[in-house]
Amino acid sequence: MTSKSSSSKIGGKKVATQTSAIQLVQSSRFAQWVARWLVIVMIISILGMATLPWQQTSRGTGQVVAYAPQERQQTVQSRIKGVVAKVTPGLVEGSIVKKGDIILEIEQVAFDMKAQLEGQLKNLDMKIDATIAKADAYQLQVDAYTNAKVFAVQAADEMVKSAEAKLKSKREQIRGYEFKEKQAQQQYDRQLFLFNSDAKPEKEVEKWLKDLEVAKADLASLRQDIISLTNELTAKQKEREEKKLLAQTKIDYAIAMKAGAISETETIRKDKIDVQMKLDALNRGGKVKAPRDGTIFRMPIFEQGQTVKEGEPLFTIIPDSAKKAVELLVPGNDMPLIKMGDEVRLQFEGWPAVQFVGWPSVSVGTFSGVVSTVDATDNGKGKFRILVVQNPKADPWPSDQFLRQGVRANGWVMLRQVSLGYEVWRQLNGFPVIVSDSEPKQKKAKKPKLPKRSK
């Protein structure tokens, strides 16, 4: 019993020693609890990333503008050069004005400017009449030179025809002279034969020799006349072309001078229009009026006696806009995915908002809009401008008190809904946003048909 007890005791000591070692390598209950929850959270995250939807967006920044270009900021410039004679009392930056309200009045520097402008108009009218008369005179010259060309060409044609007739007549005579020369040669040869046979006296032979020489001389003279008439015909033809070219040169010169006179007339008429506009502006008294209902934004000209030049800014007005829009600049990488009618979530500066990019339905303080316009080209820096207007099916935008022109805004264009896991994977790999499924696919090129070989 003692040995068992000791052995049991020894066995008991061994068991106690083994239990102490296991406790040293085991994790604490807290660590096991944390590990279990981490596994649960990881499983839930994987399931959530696979099932939860994510709204892909294209972010852009911009500002509030008027939808109509005529209702955006406008700078009114001076149409004449002069001195500010009157500024509407009480008019300061921020004042509200109506269309047609007189803002200020400008007087010309020269007191006799009206008389000078009227004198310039009279001088310009006289110059116009003179240039018109000059153009008419050159037209008469054109007509006269044209008629002279016709007569000169007709006369030259007659001379050419006369030379051709003479040449033709001489050429028709040459066959007769050649026959006559041939016949004289035959008679001479016959008489010479008879003379050698002592059948004819020498005087008879000399007579036929003389006739032969006369026939040869007549033939040579005729041939020389043909050569002379041919040269004369060539000279007449050249003379005709010279007369034609000379007459046409005079006609072209008169036409060019007429065109110059007409161009001078148009230039003087343009100068007359400019002078007439200045005279009309002077007759209106240089009153500068508000072009639209709105608010005075800046007034660089605010005091009487200030000198202004033609084209110098007088004041800047912000017209009252009936319809607001947001001008956003989006990256060129996302521009092909944006089209008119896409929904946009907007966050306005100065308006409290919380935006959840992937879940716009839980966003607070943002407003809905739709894409109205997408520019055809970028702004020179790779950004494309889009105009966003209010969505008629959603809550209205803030009032004009908060939504003034120039207020900065952030926008998110809604593109496509994907799973959260795909979006995380896309962001980690740096891939672009998904292109719409409706994008047309490229057609495969058809293989060209080769001609069949003939057997």
Any idea what the CATH number is for the domain that residue 375 is in?
A: 2.40.30.170
Q: What is the pLDDT of residue 30?
A: 76
Q: Count the Cβ atoms, other than its own, within 10 Å of residue 97.
A: 20
Average pLDDT over residues 75-103: 85
pLDDT of residue 6 exceeding 60, the answer is: no
Chain mean position to CA 294? 34
pLDDT of residue 1 exceeding 70, the answer is: no
Residue 303 belongs to some domain of the structure: yes
140 vs 4, which has greater pLDDT?
Answer: 140
Same domain, yes or no: 87 and 144: no
Residue 35 belongs to some domain of the structure: no
CATH of the domain at 92: 2.40.50.100
Which pLDDT band, with edges at 50, 70 and 90, does 209 fall under? confident
Q: Do 279 and 114 contact (CB within 8 A), yes or no?
A: yes
Which pLDDT band, with edges at 50, 70 and 90, does 371 fall under? very high
Q: How many CA atoms lie within 13 Å of 355's alpha carbon, on the beta-carbon side?
A: 20
Looking up tokens 């829009």 gives 325
216 pairs with which residues across the strands?
none
Same domain, yes or no: 401 and 328: yes
Q: What is the pLDDT of residue 362?
A: 60
Residue 34 belongs to some domain of the structure: no
Average pLDDT over residues 393-416: 86
Q: What is the pLDDT of residue 408?
A: 93
Residue 158 belongs to some domain of the structure: yes
- N-term to C-term CA, the chain: 117
Q: Count the Cβ atoms, other than its own, within 10 Å of residue 212.
A: 21
Same domain, yes or no: 137 and 270: yes
62 pairs with which residues across the strands?
328, 409
159 vs 438, which has greater pLDDT?
Answer: 159
Give me the phi and psi of 401, to 5 degrees please: -65, -35
pLDDT of residue 21 exceeding 70, the answer is: no
Residue of 324, 325, 295 whose CA lies nearest to 386 = 325
260: left (phi over 0), alpha (psi -120 to 50) or beta: alpha
Residue 444 belongs to some domain of the structure: no
Same domain, yes or no: 226 and 342: no
Same domain, yes or no: 161 and 209: yes
Flag the least confident range among 129-143, 233-247, 276-290: 276-290
Using CA atoms, how far apart are residues 243 and 157, in angstroms rounded to an integer? 11
pLDDT > 90: percent of the chain = 11
Using CA atoms, how far apart are residues 178 and 220, in angstroms rounded to an integer? 10
Same domain, yes or no: 274 and 416: no
Q: What is the pLDDT of residue 389?
A: 94
Q: What is the pLDDT of residue 72?
A: 86
Q: What is the pLDDT of residue 275?
A: 85
Q: Count the Cβ atoms, other than its own, within 10 Å of residue 222.
A: 16
Flag the least confident range among 20-34, 140-154, 165-179, 284-298: 20-34
Average pLDDT over residues 429-442: 55
- Report the number of distinct structural domains present in the chain: 3
Same domain, yes or no: 127 and 272: yes
pLDDT of residue 223 exceeding 60, the answer is: yes
CATH of the domain at 199: 1.10.287.1490
Using CA atoms, how far apart are residues 335 and 384, in angstroms rounded to an integer? 7
206 pairs with which residues across the strands?
none
Q: What is the pLDDT of residue 15?
A: 45
Flag the least confident range among 261-275, 359-373, 404-418: 359-373
Q: Quick check: pTM over 0.95?
A: no
Same domain, yes or no: 360 and 240: no
> Positive or negative CA dihedral for 37, 42, 43, 45?
positive
Q: 43 to each of 36, 37, 54, 297, 419, how far by Cα in Å?
A: 11, 10, 19, 60, 16
Q: What is the pLDDT of residue 9?
A: 46
Using CA atoms, how far apart are residues 163 and 234, in angstroms rounded to an integer? 9
35 vs 438, which has greater pLDDT?
Answer: 35
Residue 435 belongs to some domain of the structure: no
pLDDT of residue 453 exceeding 60, the answer is: no
Using CA atoms, how far apart are residues 176 and 109, in angstroms rounded to an integer? 100
Q: What is the pLDDT of residue 330?
A: 92
Using CA atoms, how far apart are residues 366 and 353, in angstroms rounded to an integer? 6
Using CA atoms, how far apart are residues 446 and 452, in angstroms rounded to an integer? 18
**Average pLDDT score, the chain:** 79
Same domain, yes or no: 335 and 418: yes
Q: What is the domain extent for residue 215?
A: 114-278
Same domain, yes or no: 119 and 257: yes
Which span out of 206-210, 397-401, 441-445 was modeled with the highest average pLDDT? 397-401
Using CA atoms, how far apart are residues 321 and 367, in angstroms rounded to an integer? 19
Q: Do 365 and 352 contact (CB within 8 A), yes or no?
A: yes
